[in-house]
Structure 1
Amino acid sequence: MSSVDLQSLAESLVDAARRAGADQADALSASGQSISIDMRGGALEHADRAEGVEIGLRVLIGGRQASVSASSHSPAAIAEMAERAVAMAREAPVDDNLGLADPDQLARHRDAAGLQIADDRPDPTPDHLQDLALRAEAAARDMPGISQVESANASFSRRFLWLAASNGFSGGYGRTTHAISTVAITGEGLGMERDYAGESRVWAEDLPAPEDIGRLAAERTLARAGSRKPPTGAFPILYDRRVASSLIGHLLSAVNGSAVARGASWLRKDLGQPVLPEGFDLTEDPLRPRYPSSRPFDAEGLPTRARKIVEGGVLQGWTLDLATARKLGMDSTASAARGLSSAPSPTNSNVILTPGTATPEDLIAKMGTGLIVTSMLGASINGTTGDYSRGAAGFWVEGGRIAYPVNECTIAGNLRDMLMTIEAADDALPWRGIEAGSILVRGMTVAGA
């Protein structure tokens, strides 16, 4: 479906909502197509292709709101959606902070020109994606010690969305994603270990070669052979760059306006206070060209911009949409995101942590004895207190050197204390939603053998 058709759909939804009795309304229309190929043992294991058009409508009446979505977009379906949404809104609780942006707040640029977030080359064919997956699988399988390749996947998606609102906003843009991933296995039975590698990009030309991804999956898997539990005690922990972003993600969750407005954030009283060591900045830039979460405007039509969440270690502000900003007596940071059937909520786009000057090897040597975490599973995070506990696997370090791989352990601490002790390495990778290198954290608890 063309952008003109999506624009017409979104604007028709808004018009229908106003006719049905809504005070204000905004609507999303989205078209998408995707294809995914999985190879195993040199043969096609699974192929999936999907395409469709979906629409979503939010209506507001006297401080009440409701959201609905549908895959049917006939005139009759649109009229029925609007009537249903208005009926739902009239039964919703009142929140005087709800409401669309004022017209003078809206973005002037209504497309993504210059951001390069949609590959303008022809879409890859299924045969091409199958070839990429085969090459990744072969590279992993050919590494001595790999017993099997669990899966090798190549995928592509192209999506276009349009946002229209009764305050006069109407704009849209497209986005593409190319991805390759591989999961490899070594050993058998109880001695089996697996690991993976995967990369995604907006532009196909920015992807690593599939052979590089397959070999990396194999190398990571082979390094895990012979894993055992680590000792129990208090040790420094190095979050490998594969998982360091999760630590920063917990900080971002704590400065999210939704949590702060509910009083459910362990940082709710720390605006203007140190939350990272001196010298660390945490910057958000939704306008980075070719980055997967870049966007010219947010889900409420406000212009996005770069900003410092943390500067010099000091917390500068919350991440806000219009409703949470009004609750807190502040201005929106143009951070709203929404699904087709949900109201806007704050989120982040392209976050960068100040890199360190040390290499990961320097930090490992500095640890002496401790744990390198390369993967995690499960989580028990108390958003109000910052108490933190997660299952982990990685490598045990003794004498400043990797001694052996470990699994089946738990790491625990308090996020406030953890983040105030961090040291960052210089190995951050580009193209990530959170760009952070390996991070060393002092004084955590490891529960192993």
Structure 2
Amino acid sequence: MPSANLSDLTEALLAAATKAGAGAADAIAVDGRSVSIDVRQGQLEQAERAEGVEIGLRVLIGGRQACVSASDISARTIADMAERAVAMAREAPEDPYAGLADPDQLARDWDVSGFELADPAPEPLAQALETDAREAEAAALAVAGVAQVQSASASYSARRLQIAASNGFSGGYARTSRAVSAVAISGEGLSMERDWAAESRCFQADLPSAASVGQLAGERAVARANPRAPKTGAYPVLIDERVAGSLIGHLLSAINGTAITRGASWLRDALGTQVLPEGLSLIEDPHRPRISGSRPFDAEGLPTARRAIVENGVLMGWTLDLATARKLGLRSTANASRGTSSPPSPGVGNVALTQGAQSREELLRAMGSGLLVTSFIGATINPTTGDYSRGASGFWVENGEITHPVNECTVAGNLRDMLLRITPANDARAHLSHVVPSLLLEGLTLAG
């Protein structure tokens, strides 16, 4: 569906909301299509294609709001949606902080083309995706020690989004994604070990070869063969780049405006204090070209901008949408996100942590004896205290050298203390939305 039709849909939703008695409203329309291909044992296992348009409407009556959504875009459905939303809003609890942006807060004159979020290349044929999946599987099976490939997949998606509101805002953009992945297994029976590799890019031309993805999955699975339990005690832990972003993710969750306004965050009293080592910064940049988390405006029509979340180790601000900002007496950081069936809420897109001067291998040598974590399993995290415990697997390091794989262990500590002691490597991958290198932490508790 052309993007002009999405604009017509959002305007129709707003008009219906006004007619039904809404004091204010915003609308969202999403046109998406996706194709995914899975192969197994050299045969096509599954092929899926999905496409359609979804619409969502939020109405406000005073401080009361309600959201409705549908996948039918007929005029009758739009009218019914508006009437239902208004009826729901009249029964909703009052929220004095709910409301649209003031007109002078809205984004204007953005250049979507500069973000390069939508690949102009034609949609790949299903046969091309199947070829990618087959190449990934074959490359994984070619690695000595790989017993089987659990799955090999390739996919493509394209999505158009349009947001409009009764305050005068209207804007939209398109986004594409091309991905390939593989899951390989080494060993037999009870000694089987599994690992994976995956790559995704906005532009198809930027995607690494499917064979390189499959080979990496195979090599990772073989490296995990014959694991042992680790030693129990306090040891340094190096969190590999492929999972290090999860640690920074806990920090981002703790500074989310929703958690702060509820008082349910272990960083609720940390604004303006040291939360990372001196010299480290965490920067949000929603304008990086060809990156999945980039966008010219947020879900409330506010202009996005680069900001320092942490600067030189000091926490500079929360992540806010309009409602959480109003509750705290602050300004929105233009971090509102939303789906078709829910109101806006704060969320972070692209972030990058300052990289260090040493490679992962140099940090391994510096740590002496300890654990290199390459995957996490589950988590027990107390959101109000920051107490942290996660199942982990990876490799044991002795005298700076990897000696054997490790599984069935638990890594524990307190997030506030852990983040103050991180030493970053220099191996972050620049194409990711969260650019976080491997992180060395001293003195965590390991339990085998």
Question: Could you tell me the TM-score, scaled by structure 1's length?
Answer: 0.99
Preserved contact between residue 110 and residue 170 of structure 1 (Cα < 8 Å): no
Distance between the aligned counterparts of 1:26 and 1:113, measured in 2? 25
Preserved contact between residue 236 and residue 440 of structure 1 (Cα < 8 Å): yes
1:339-366: CA deviation from partner (whole Å, max 9, x where unpaired): 1000101111110000000111111111
Residue equivalent to 2:320 = 320
Residue equivalent to 1:196 = 196
Residue equivalent to 1:397 = 397
> What is the CA distance between 1:147 and its match in structure 2?
0.5
> What is the CA distance between 1:293 and its match in structure 2?
1.1
Preserved contact between residue 109 and residue 296 of structure 1 (Cα < 8 Å): no
1:384-437: CA deviation from partner (whole Å, max 9, x where unpaired): 110111110000111111111011111111000000000000000122121011
Residue equivalent to 1:424 = 424
Q: Is the partner of 2:362 in helix, strand or coil? A: helix
> What is the CA distance between 1:301 and its match in structure 2?
0.2
Unaligned runs of 5+ in 1: none
Residue equivalent to 1:273 = 273
> What is the CA distance between 1:15 and its match in structure 2?
1.1
Structure-to-structure mapping, 1:24-173, within 5 angstroms = 24-109=24-109, 112-173=112-173
Question: What one-letter code is carried by the residue in structure 2 that aligns with 1:121?
Answer: A
Structure-to-structure mapping, 1:255-334, within 5 angstroms = 255-334=255-334
Preserved contact between residue 286 and residue 306 of structure 1 (Cα < 8 Å): yes
Q: Is the partner of 2:302 in helix, strand or coil? A: coil
1:130-162: CA deviation from partner (whole Å, max 9, x where unpaired): 011111111111111111111110000000010
Distance between the aligned counterparts of 1:292 and 1:132, measured in 2? 21
Distance between the aligned counterparts of 1:140 and 1:397, measured in 2? 26
Question: What one-letter code is carried by the residue in structure 2 that aligns with 1:422?
Answer: I
> What is the CA distance between 1:14 and its match in structure 2?
1.0
Distance between the aligned counterparts of 1:432 and 1:110, measured in 2? 23
Structure-to-structure mapping, 1:202-217, within 5 angstroms = 202-217=202-217
Q: Is the partner of 1:358 in helix, strand or coil? A: coil
> What is the CA distance between 1:94 and its match in structure 2?
0.8
Question: What one-letter code is carried by the residue in structure 1 that aligns with 2:336?
Answer: A
Q: Is the partner of 1:98 in helix, strand or coil? A: coil
1:179-230: CA deviation from partner (whole Å, max 9, x where unpaired): 0000001101110001000010000011111111011001111100011111
Distance between the aligned counterparts of 2:156 and 2:397, measured in 1? 39
> What is the CA distance between 1:234 and its match in structure 2?
1.0
Distance between the aligned counterparts of 1:112 and 1:391, measured in 2? 42
Q: Is the partner of 1:242 in helix, strand or coil? A: helix
Q: Is the partner of 2:115 in helix, strand or coil? A: coil
Q: Indicate the RMSD between aligned Cα atoms, in angstroms.
A: 0.8
Alignment partner of 1:335 is 2:300: no
Residue equivalent to 1:182 = 182
Question: What one-letter code is carried by the residue in structure 1 that aligns with 2:85?
Answer: A
> What is the CA distance between 1:377 and its match in structure 2?
1.2
1:39-66: CA deviation from partner (whole Å, max 9, x where unpaired): 1111100100000011000111111111
Question: What one-letter code is carried by the residue in structure 1 that aligns with 2:272?
Answer: G
Distance between the aligned counterparts of 1:112 and 1:262, measured in 2? 35
> What is the CA distance between 1:326 and its match in structure 2?
0.4
Q: Is the partner of 1:319 in helix, strand or coil? A: coil
Preserved contact between residue 229 and residue 408 of structure 1 (Cα < 8 Å): yes
Residue equivalent to 2:218 = 218
Residue equivalent to 2:249 = 249
Question: What one-letter code is carried by the residue in structure 1 that aligns with 2:28?
Answer: L
Question: What one-letter code is carried by the residue in structure 2 that aligns with 1:168?
Answer: G
Q: Is the partner of 1:243 in helix, strand or coil? A: helix
> What is the CA distance between 1:111 and its match in structure 2?
5.9
Distance between the aligned counterparts of 1:4 and 1:111, measured in 2? 17
Distance between the aligned counterparts of 1:214 and 1:7, measured in 2? 41
Preserved contact between residue 110 and residue 171 of structure 1 (Cα < 8 Å): no
Q: Is the partner of 1:409 in helix, strand or coil? A: strand
Preserved contact between residue 65 and residue 89 of structure 1 (Cα < 8 Å): yes
Residue equivalent to 2:382 = 382
Distance between the aligned counterparts of 1:33 and 1:110, measured in 2? 25
Preserved contact between residue 110 and residue 172 of structure 1 (Cα < 8 Å): no
Unaligned runs of 5+ in 2: none
Question: What one-letter code is carried by the residue in structure 1 that aligns with 2:329?
Answer: G
> What is the CA distance between 1:323 and its match in structure 2?
0.3
Preserved contact between residue 186 and residue 192 of structure 1 (Cα < 8 Å): yes
Residue equivalent to 2:358 = 358
Distance between the aligned counterparts of 1:284 and 1:175, measured in 2? 20
Question: What one-letter code is carried by the residue in structure 2 that aligns with 1:104?
Answer: D
Distance between the aligned counterparts of 1:52 and 1:322, measured in 2? 30
Distance between the aligned counterparts of 2:326 and 2:184, measured in 1? 49
> What is the CA distance between 1:125 and its match in structure 2?
0.4
Residue equivalent to 1:236 = 236
> What is the CA distance between 1:284 and its match in structure 2?
0.2
Distance between the aligned counterparts of 1:58 and 1:236, measured in 2? 49
Distance between the aligned counterparts of 2:227 and 2:27, measured in 1? 51
Preserved contact between residue 111 and residue 173 of structure 1 (Cα < 8 Å): no
Distance between the aligned counterparts of 2:159 and 2:208, measured in 1? 22
> What is the CA distance between 1:98 and its match in structure 2?
0.7
> What is the CA distance between 1:368 and its match in structure 2?
1.1
Distance between the aligned counterparts of 2:27 and 2:227, measured in 1? 51
Residue equivalent to 1:371 = 371
> What is the CA distance between 1:109 and its match in structure 2?
3.0
> What is the CA distance between 1:176 and its match in structure 2?
0.2
Distance between the aligned counterparts of 1:305 and 1:266, measured in 2? 26
Distance between the aligned counterparts of 1:277 and 1:110, measured in 2? 36
Aligned pairs, number: 448
> What is the CA distance between 1:88 and its match in structure 2?
0.7
